[in-house]
Amino acid sequence: DGGITQSPKYLFRKEGQNVTLSCEQNLNHDAMYWYRQDPGQGLRLIYYSQIVNDFQKGDIAEGYSVSREKKESFPLTVTSAQKNPTAFYLCASSVLAGPSSYNEQFFGPGTRLTVL
Amino acid sequence: KQEVTQIPAALSVPEGENLVLNCSFTDSAIYNLQWFRQDPGKGLTSLLLIQSSQREQTSGRLNASLDKSSGRSTLYIAASQPGDSATYLCAVRDNAGNMLTFGGGTRLMVKP
């Protein structure tokens, strides 16, 4: 089965703790993305990566960090510096980034993070 | 900075009705526009993607139009069904092709 997997589905964190969200894809896509969704709102881009060992900040990167050591994996760490981390986090991937007919994004099922 | 607005924020209709969801964007210099469906607590499913050079795209009971010069797109759903109940999001991609900017979504409920 080809697709994007995110784990865990639900995550609880105490204030002051770092936590890492997993995103894996077996679609052989070059580009991967992390978005945050707050209740009743659209998605906002946190980070994206066009190629292994490279990533760029999105609109709301403060308090987050990422790595892209393997093509299929793009984990997101929510650090203690993120002041309001409770949200729904979505990972996506596309064949390519940039102006191309291959930049259509496909999404994973999401991880709901709650800070206690 | 690009801003995307979706009106209405919520919509409730009886089964069988034809309906239109609206999306507007402030910067007409877009590469393409995409409509998504999101079920509660789930990820996004792509419905239609319209390139900036296109006027509309159709898939089954769905038809999306794009008027780039006026900064508007509409999603037309024909003969709505209870299974269409979900949140519908539109997103525009900038000309560099990297960034998707999302609207806040329209939450649709179709009553049997």
CA separation for the pair B68, B25 (Å, rounded): 9
Task: Give strand ranges (E) for B61-112.
Answer: 62-67, 72-77, 86-94, 100-102, 106-111
Sort out which chain A residues have CB atoms less than 8 A from B51's CB and list them.
101
The pLDDT value given to residue B97 = 66
Residue of B nearest to A94 (CA): B98
* A-to-B residue pairs, Cβ atoms closer than 8 angstroms: 65
What band does A44 get if pLDDT is binned at 50, 70 and 90? Answer: very high
Asked whether the beta carbons of residue B97 and residue A99 sit closer than 8 angstroms, the reply is: yes
Position B40, amino acid: P
Comparing CB atoms, the residue among A41, A88, A105 nearest residue B100 is: A105
From residue A73, how far is each of A59, A67, B62, B102 by CA, in Å?
21, 8, 34, 24
Max Cα distance, chain A (Å):
42
Residue of A nearest to B94 (CA): A99
A11 to chain B, any CB pair closer than 8 A? The answer is no
Of A3-17, A68-82, B1-15, B90-104, where does mean pLDDT reach its minimum?
A: B90-104
Q: Does residue A1 register a pLDDT over 60?
A: no
Residue of B nearest to A103 (CA): B97
Residue of B nearest to A37 (CA): B104
- What is the radius of gyration, based on Cα positions, of chain B? 13
What band does A83 get if pLDDT is binned at 50, 70 and 90? Answer: confident
Average of per-residue pLDDT across A47-51: 93
Q: Does residue A99 register a pLDDT over 70?
A: no
Dump the DSSP string for B48-66.
Answer: EEEETT-SEEEETTEEEEE
Sort out which chain A residues have CB atoms less than 8 A from B31's CB and list them.
99, 103
- What ranges in A37-100 are assigned the alpha helix state H? none
- Which class for B106: exposed (0-12), middle (13-18), buried (19 or more C-beta within 10 A)? buried
CA separation for the pair B111, B77 (Å, rounded): 15
Asked whether the beta carbons of residue B96 and residue A56 sit closer than 8 angstroms, the reply is: no
| Contacting residues for A1 by C-beta, under 8 A, at least 6 apart | none
SS3 of A116, please? coil
Q: From the CA of B29, how many Å to the nearest CA of chain A?
A: 13
Residuewise pLDDT in 10s, chain B (112 residues) = 899 999 999 999 999 999 999 999 999 999 899 999 999 989 999 999 999 999 999 999 999 999 999 999 999 999 999 999 999 999 999 887 668 899 999 999 999 9
